[in-house]
Amino acid sequence: MNIVKRKLLHWSWQYFQRENATSSGGKPVLYAKCKFCHQTYANNSDRLTTHLINKCEKIPPGIKTVLTRKYTAEHSEHLTANLAQV
Ligand SMILES: [Zn+2]
């Protein structure tokens, strides 16, 4: 009986820390904080991925290579799907 409720998160979240903050309007906001350079983003997986691959200056090169491959694979699937519809 040790079931943890988990939402399925994009793989980029592995490299971000989730942080709760409060917006100026008093609403709770979820932030993603890069584990490598501590840059924060509002919850948006596209931006997180782009950050890791293109913008992060502290990400170890080995991890960056792996993530770039993952990202490319994800996007080539989309391309193939798009082509199939034409
Ligand atoms: Zn970073």
Q: Is residue 71 part of a domain?
A: yes
Q: What range defines the domain where residue 65 resides?
A: 11-85
Average per-residue pLDDT for the chain: 85
Distance 34 CA to ligand 1 centre (A): 5
**Measured in angstroms, how far is the CA atom of residue 8 from the centroid of ligand 1?**
22
Residue 1 lies in a domain: no
pLDDT tens for 11-47 read: 899 999 999 888 889 988 889 999 999 999 986 667 8
Please give the tally of structural domains in the chain.
1
In angstroms, what is the span from residue 4 Cα to ligand 1's centroid? 28
Instruction: Note the pLDDT of residue 10.
Output: 84
By the 10 Å C-beta count (0-12 exposed, 13-18 middle, 19+ buried), 35 is classed as middle
The rounded Å distance from CA 18 to ligand 1 centre is: 14
- Angstrom CA distances, 40 to 16, 21, 64, stand at 9, 11, 18
- State whether residue 32 is helix, strand or coil: strand
How is residue 9 annotated by DSSP? Answer: -
How far is the centre of ligand 1, averaged over its atoms, from the C-alpha of 48 (Å)?
Answer: 9
